[in-house]
């Protein structure tokens, strides 16, 4: 069974540009989570989607946005990139059940220059 897949693996953008990151969850999982992990720091909760709807949002500015498609895959968009947006962006998926595990993709390393 395929795990969570993220693309691209690496992304280099210039300050002010937009970045789009993609995530495909494990088959059957409807919940998708996005996290930002800056170098040497912990996982900061960005967004949680389930059944196509945004269920919760972390303390990030509106230029961080996303969506979930009918097949439960998800996109994270970051507009007006800033140097401090450089980080590892991680996607995880889970069933919509609090007593089930969440599994991560390999992440997208975004570098803003």
Partner 1 sequence: QKEVEQNSGPLSVPEGAIASLNCTYSDRGSQSFFWYRQYSGKSPELIMFIYSNGDKEDGRFTAQLNKASQYVSLLIRDSQPSDSATYLCAVKIDYNKLIFGAGTRLAVHP
Q: Is 68 in the site for partner 1 (CB under 8 A)?
A: no
Residue in 48, 66, 68, 81 binding partner 1, rule: CB under 8 A? 48
For partner 1, the binding residue among 43, 73, 75, 79 (CB under 8 A) is: 43
Q: Does 5 bind partner 1 (CB under 8 A)?
A: no
Of 63, 65, 64, 68, nearest to 53 (Cα)? 68
Q: Are 84 and 31 in contact (CB under 8 A)?
A: no
Span interacting with partner 1, options 11-19, 65-73, 76-84, 99-107, rule CB under 8 A: 99-107
Specify the pairing of strand 87-94 against strand 31-37.
Answer: antiparallel
Q: Does 97 bind partner 1 (CB under 8 A)?
A: yes
Taking CB under 8 A as the criterion, the residue among 26, 33, 46, 87 binding partner 1 is: 33
Q: How many residues bind partner 1 (CB under 8 A)?
A: 27
- Cis, bond preceding 8 (omega within 30 deg of 0): yes
């Amino acid at each position: 069974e395929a795990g969570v897949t993220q693309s691209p693996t690496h992304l280099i953008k210039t300050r002010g540009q937009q970045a789009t990151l993609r995530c495909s969850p494990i088959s059957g999982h409807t919940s998708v989570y996005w996290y930002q992990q800056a170098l040497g720091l912990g996982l900061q909760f960005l967004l949680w989607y389930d059944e196509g709807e945004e269920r919760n949002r972390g303390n990030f500015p509106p230029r961080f946005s996303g969506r979930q498609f009918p097949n439960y895959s998800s996109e994270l968009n970051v507009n007006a990139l800033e140097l401090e947006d450089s980080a590892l962006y991680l996607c995880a998926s889970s069933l919509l059940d609090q007593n089930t595990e969440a599994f991560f993709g390999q992440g997208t390393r975004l570098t803003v220059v």
